Structure 1
Amino acid sequence: MNTRHELPPITLAANDYNRLLFTAMIRQKHNRRASDFLLKELRRAKVCHPAALPEDVVSTNCRVIYRIDDELKSRAHLLVHPEDLIWPGAEISVTTPLGTALLGLRVGDCMSFVDDGEVHEVFVEGIGLRFLDDGPTVERTPGSITWA
């Protein structure tokens, strides 16, 4: 059966989009197929300010609860940039086929992806903790604002 599903819309924070675009371009020599999938997803993404990212959207640095195919048991991993991967048992790189498929989805969405030549479908069940990037912080003193 050759059923074609419409791709779910995806939303990315601008900081994720910029960092992932750079990562995909750098990794093209390393793994062309994975980079092409990531670039394709970045091209179709709606990009927003990080503060405007809806709470039910999968982003990097968030714990995502999901199922693959018809599995009965849910999985949960922290979605991270490849250079931030420190504990593979609890984290998944956004540059893997599964990580790219999860990126930008909303709770309740499903997305197909290819891994080791096999087509799978991932279903997002929930979003856990979201860790914020260490961007500039604001220090307030009477009469002024200082960026640290």
Structure 2
Amino acid sequence: MNTQHALPPITLAANDYNRLLFTAMFRPKPGRRKANFLLEELRRAKVCHPAALPEDVVSTNCRVIYRVDDEAKSRAHLLAHPEDLIWPGAEISVTTPLGAALLGLRVGDRMPFVEADGQVHEVFVEGIGLRFLDDSSMVTRAPDVFAWS
């Protein structure tokens, strides 16, 4: 694994950016190392409106297909906020080293990350599956006003 190349650019929807910034800033002290990696990623992110997020970019609430290091078999998980995890084994928290590394990458990007035990890995994004809409990214419209005649 060669991690000497520059880090790939990342793009985040504003709703993810704001929620993750809050999570990283107020995370308990034992998770500080993970929070610091997440904060570093947030600092270098390009932030856009949720509707402008390219379809090939990994975000929370999307199924991402990826490989770690030189694994022969792909993995697929739903990337989720830690408080939203409901399907053990099918999801990965965005606050884990792997989850933070995946966030904002485009299909075809590679990104190094360090596990809690100090092991360095590299993740490769192969594809984006189903993307679930987050309620906070929904555009709401005021009710129509009817004029009385």
Q: What residue identity is the alignment partner of 2:10?
A: I
CA distance in 1, matches of 2:50, 2:108: 21
Q: Which residue of 1 aligns with 2:76?
A: 76
Deviations 1:93-118 (CA, angstroms, capped at 9, x unpaired): 00000000000000000000011210
Alpha carbons 1:28, 1:35 under 8 Å: kept: no
CA change 1:30–1:3 in 2 (3 A) is closer
Q: How does 1:65-144 map to 2 (within 5 A)?
A: 65-115=65-115, 116-135=117-136, 137-138=140-141, 140-141=143-144
Cα RMSD (Å): 1.9
Greater Cα shift, 133-142 or 85-94? 133-142
Deviations 1:6-34 (CA, angstroms, capped at 9, x unpaired): 00000000000000000001115131110
Deviations 1:51-72 (CA, angstroms, capped at 9, x unpaired): 0000000000000000000001
Task: Please state whether the residue corresponding to 1:138 is helix, strand or coil.
Answer: coil
Q: What residue identity is the alignment partner of 1:133?
A: D
Where does structure 2 lack aligned partners over 5 or more consecutive residues? none
Alpha carbons 1:85, 1:91 under 8 Å: kept: yes
Q: Which residue of 2 aligns with 1:31?
A: 31
More strand by share: 1
Alpha carbons 1:14, 1:47 under 8 Å: kept: yes
Alpha carbons 2:78, 2:90 under 8 Å: kept: yes
CA change 1:74–1:38 in 2 (3 A) is same
Q: Percent identity?
A: 81
State the TM-score, normalizing by the size of structure 1.
Answer: 0.91
Task: Please state whether the residue corresponding to 1:100 is helix, strand or coil.
Answer: helix
Q: What residue identity is the alignment partner of 1:124?
A: V
CA distance in 2, matches of 1:3, 1:128: 26
After the TM superposition, which segments of 4 or more aligned residues of structure 1 sit over 4 Å from their partners? none
Where does structure 1 lack aligned partners over 5 or more consecutive residues? none
CA distance in 1, matches of 2:83, 2:101: 19
Higher RCO (CA 8 Å, separation ≥ 6 residues) = 2
CA distance in 1, matches of 2:56, 2:44: 19
Q: How does 1:40-79 map to 2 (within 5 A)?
A: 40-79=40-79
CA change 1:122–1:143 in 2 (3 A) is farther
